[in-house]
């Protein structure tokens, strides 16, 4: 069985491709190496895949690649590619979000028509919920994103639904909640924090640190994504969270204990588009996908710290 993973050189995409290979899939990984962070990190991610039997890599832009050829003989499409980042999605940068999150998704869906795809799994984001106090966040709640990034992810979700309703493409959208773990992007908070600890540098803390997130370990996200590909239903949306909601101040304490180092915090203003709290209601994912996060926050942070400690910084 053959699967396409877009964004295969990224943090989550490389973990997913690795797991699919272990499950016996032939995997075609696609990535255009967006310049949102250094290519070196993505090449390291790919190094875990390149020599494995059954893996083929295509360095291409989804807006320009021959999608008909790419999808030939493919049973599963895992669409993880996109332009990440809440804070960078404002102003002139939004063109990149419309191209890489909305238009690329539409073109990929369009190319899937008539291909006999068994499942099209789209990686969305908890950012679609916005800055709500109605916790936990439920799939049936009205999305109200407060960043252009969140708007672009919600638009792509709607495209997935439209192509299911209009053309029968069996789509499932997954709202990922703050994913962390080994290979995490260098622009994400845990990576920034751990790198600064290792270098004894100041660490930016946006806001007062009481904001909280539902942190999800990468291995749990992969399990939920695989479960979605096997789900018999279509046209639905699921939360994938870690069940490990904690404030940033609490996480900082945990990382200080794990690392044995004291953080040097540089407090700054809360950024536009940042939300106060996230927490996933996992009822639907548990009942329909059998999803149950297994990695506790402290254990997952320890694994990421171990990975970070071995990087050439």
| Exposure b/e, 126-135, CB count within 10 A at least 16 = b | bbbbbbbeeb
Residue 57: inside a domain: yes
* Active-site position among 129, 149, 163, 180: 149
Give the Cα-Cα-Cα angle 196, 199, 203 (nearest 5 degrees). 25
Residue 73: which CATH number? 3.40.50.720
pLDDT value of position 179: 98
**Domain that residue 6 falls in:** 2-176+218-242+279-293
pLDDT value of position 24: 97
The full DSSP string for 88-126 is T-SGGGHHHHIIIIIIHHHHHHHHHTTS--SEEEEEEEG
Residue 34 carries which DSSP code?
-
Residue 280 carries which DSSP code?
B
Q: What is the pLDDT of residues 85-123, one digit of tens each?
A: 888 888 888 999 999 999 999 999 999 999 999 999 999
Residue 187: inside a domain: no
pLDDT value of position 152: 97
Residue 271 has pLDDT above 80, yes or no: no
Token readout for 161 is 């639904």
pLDDT value of position 79: 98
Residue 190: inside a domain: no
Residue 262: inside a domain: no
Token readout for 131 is 């800055």
Residue 145: inside a domain: yes
Residue 240 has pLDDT above 80, yes or no: yes
Number of domains in the chain: 1
**Using CB atoms within 10 A of its CB, is residue 15 exposed (0-12), middle (13-18) or buried (19+)?**
buried
**Mean of the pLDDT values across residues 149-171?**
98
Q: What is the pTM of this model?
A: 0.97
Residue 310: inside a domain: no
Give the C-alpha separation, 17 to 29, whole Å: 7
149 classed as catalytic:
yes
Helix axes 248-259, 297-309, angle to 10 degrees: 50
Checking 262-268 for CB contacts under 8 A at 24+ apart, the result is: 263/193, 263/196, 263/197, 263/203, 264/196, 264/200, 264/201, 264/202, 264/203, 265/202, 265/203, 265/205, 265/209, 266/202, 266/203, 266/204, 266/205, 267/205, 267/208, 268/204, 268/205, 268/206
Token readout for 188 is 């994400």
Closest-CA residue to 245 (of 271, 272, 275, 200): 275
Residue 163 has pLDDT above 90, yes or no: yes
Residue 223: inside a domain: yes
pLDDT value of position 87: 81
Residue 301: inside a domain: no
pLDDT value of position 91: 87
Token readout for 151 is 């708007």
């Amino acid at each position: 069985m053959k699967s396409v993973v877009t964004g295969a050189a990224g943090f989550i995409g490389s973990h997913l491709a690795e797991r699919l290979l272990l499950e016996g899939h032939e995997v075609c990984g696609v990535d255009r190496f967006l310049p949102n962070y250094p290519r070196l990190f993505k090449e390291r991610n790919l190094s875990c895949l390149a020599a494995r039997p059954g893996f083929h890599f295509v360095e291409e832009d989804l807006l320009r690649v021959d999608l008909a050829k790419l999808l030939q003989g493919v049973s599963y499409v895992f669409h993880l590619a996109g332009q990440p980042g809440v804070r960078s999605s404002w102003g002139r940068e939004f063109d990149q979000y419309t191209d890489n999150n909305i238009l690329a998704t539409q073109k990929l869906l369009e190319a899937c028509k008539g291909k006999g795809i068994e499942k099209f799994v789209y990686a969305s984001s908890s950012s679609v919920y916005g800055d709500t106090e109605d916790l936990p966040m439920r799939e049936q709640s009205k999305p109200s994103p407060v960043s252009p990034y969140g708007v672009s992810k919600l638009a792509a979700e709607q495209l997935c639904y439209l192509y299911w309703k209009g053309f029968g493409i069996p789509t499932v959208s997954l709202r990922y909640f703050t994913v962390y773990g080994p290979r995490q992007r260098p622009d994400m908070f845990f990576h920034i924090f751990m790198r600064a600890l290792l270098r004894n540098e100041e660490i930016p803390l946006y806001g007062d640190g009481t904001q909280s997130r539902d942190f999800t370990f990468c291995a749990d996200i992969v399990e939920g994504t695989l479960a979605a590909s096997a789900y018999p239903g279509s046209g639905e949306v699921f939360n994938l969270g870690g069940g490990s909601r904690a404030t940033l101040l609490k996480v900082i304490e945990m990382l200080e204990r794990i690392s044995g180092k004291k953080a040097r915090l540089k407090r700054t203003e809360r950024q536009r588009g940042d939300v106060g709290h996230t927490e996933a209601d996992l009822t639907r994912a548990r009942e329909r996908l059998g999803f149950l996060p297994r990695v506790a926050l402290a254990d997952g942070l320890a694994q990421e710290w171990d990975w970070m400690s071995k990087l050439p910084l």
